[in-house]
Amino acid sequence: GFLLFFLISLVDLSYLKYWQVLLVIWTGTVLLLALTLIIGPVINGVRRWLYIGSFQLQPSEIAKFAVIAITAGIFSMRGKLNELILFGITFLSVITLFLLIYLEPGGSMSLLALTIWFLMTFLALSNPLRNTIVLLIAGSVSGGFLIAAITNNWIWYLTTILGVVLTVFVLYSKTKWKPLAIGALVLGLFLGIFFTVSWDTILHDYQKERIVAFINPAETTADEGFNVNQSKIAIGSGQLFGKGFGNGTQSKRNFLPEHQTDFIFASFAEEFGLVGSVVVLGLYGFLIVYCFMTAINVIQNPLHSLISMGVGIKLLLEVFINLGTNMGTIPATGIPLPLMSAGGTITIMTLVCLGLVQNIALRHRQGHRDVSGEILDVYED
């Protein structure tokens, strides 16, 4: 992983501007995901891994990298193609990966990949107000449609109607946003209907229980909330300085499930307490801010800026979702904590993504040094 980090920090990323390179990345990822569905071993009722010798590969983690590279690469072609055409190409590329991950089934991972694409696209498109309206349309229609079908709550039906009203407003206003607004409505309806149908046909009972437990906690049974309750106990028992390395009773006695993966933060907090947890959160905060600051510093280079922003979004979402799961503020999702959870693929791909950002930051600093040197030479002459 660290070897890849250093190698990628040295390569020329401008190749990602070529559609041939992006096609190779997309095709390779699709093949890996398809192979997983066909020959991947069934573990706990799902197919998410491929075995290469003794190494266990999780292609859905590679897919998140592919989403970042493909989205950034395609939108860097803005001068060659119309913005709406680029939007359509990225959507078709990413929705294929999304569906293949979803069929594993990997609902949480597929949604994470789609969210990374959506936020990168939101930032890549040129008009912020338009982007906000598009986000509201797609989000309210898809989210409202799904949750209304699950809970039969009038608030979510109202949310869906809001998305439709926003679309009608845009259609009758004097703007050039009509095609994008219609696209957002279609996307929202597609996702809403897709997830609603999947509720009865694809999702397992444990996945439904997680979602219902989050939307309506009052109906959660003791068994459904066991994992989260044990996680909260572990975090609280760590107090200020923790119980010491290897002395966590919740994880050591196996009260805390998945303490090496999904609930690694709770296990860490029990052993190192509030102080250790704050240090870890500070390190994650530094990495995320570093990615976003790099994106801002290279804003004149769309490819580099979008890659850095995509990596920052990926890290932010993964950390936020995992910590939310550990503290019971969002449904248990199975999203691991990058650089901490056990798992070779996520660690390697996280280091690959950070290598991309480091590559961009180094080239930016080198460019500044070159410019400064030229100015100094002129001044001395």
Query: pLDDT tens digits for 293-313?
Result: 999 999 999 999 999 999 999
Work out whether strand 50-52 and strand 55-57 pair parallel, antiparallel, or are unpaired: antiparallel
DSSP string, 45-88: TB---EEETTEEE-HHHHHHHHHHHHHHHHHTTTTTS-HHHHHH
Q: Which residues touch 340 (CB under 8 Å, ≥6 apart)?
A: 264, 265, 268, 280
Do residues 94 and 65 make contact, with C-beta atoms less than 8 angstroms apart? no
- Quick one: which H or E segment has residue 113? helix 107-124
Report the pLDDT value the prediction gives residue 189, as an integer from 0 to 100. Answer: 64
The answer on pLDDT for 351 being more than 90 is yes
Q: Of 116-125, 322-331, 339-348, give the lowest mean pLDDT range.
A: 322-331
CA dist 293 and 106 (Å) reads: 32
- Segment 147-163 shows an average pLDDT of 58
Sort 198 into a burial class: Cβ within 10 Å, 0-12 / 13-18 / 19+: middle
Q: Which residues of 8-27 are buried (b: 16+ CB within 10 A; e: fewer)?
A: bbeeebeebbeeeebeebbe
Confidence tier at 87 by pLDDT (50, 70, 90): confident
Which one is predicted more confidently, 80 or 355? Answer: 355
H-helix segments, 152-225 = 154-172, 178-201, 205-215
Q: What is the CA radius of gyration of the chain?
A: 22
Report the pLDDT value the prediction gives residue 379, as an integer from 0 to 100. Answer: 42
Do residues 127 and 175 make contact, with C-beta atoms less than 8 angstroms apart? no
Report the pLDDT value the prediction gives residue 375, as an integer from 0 to 100. Answer: 45
Report the pLDDT value the prediction gives residue 160, as an integer from 0 to 100. Answer: 63
Q: How far is Cα of residue 89 from the mean position of the Cα atoms in its chain? A: 19
Please list the helix, strand and coil fractions of the chain in percent, rounded to the nearest 5, in that order: 75, 0, 25
First-to-final CA distance of the chain: 47
Do residues 312 and 304 make contact, with C-beta atoms less than 8 angstroms apart? no
Best CA proximity match to 25, nearest among 85, 76, 74: 74
pLDDT in tens, 247-303: 777 777 667 776 677 888 888 999 999 999 999 999 999 999 999 999 999 999 999
pLDDT in tens, 53-76: 778 899 999 999 999 999 999 999
Across the chain, mean pLDDT equals: 80
Q: Which amino acid is at 310?
A: G
Confidence tier at 153 by pLDDT (50, 70, 90): low
Longest dimension (CA), the chain: 79
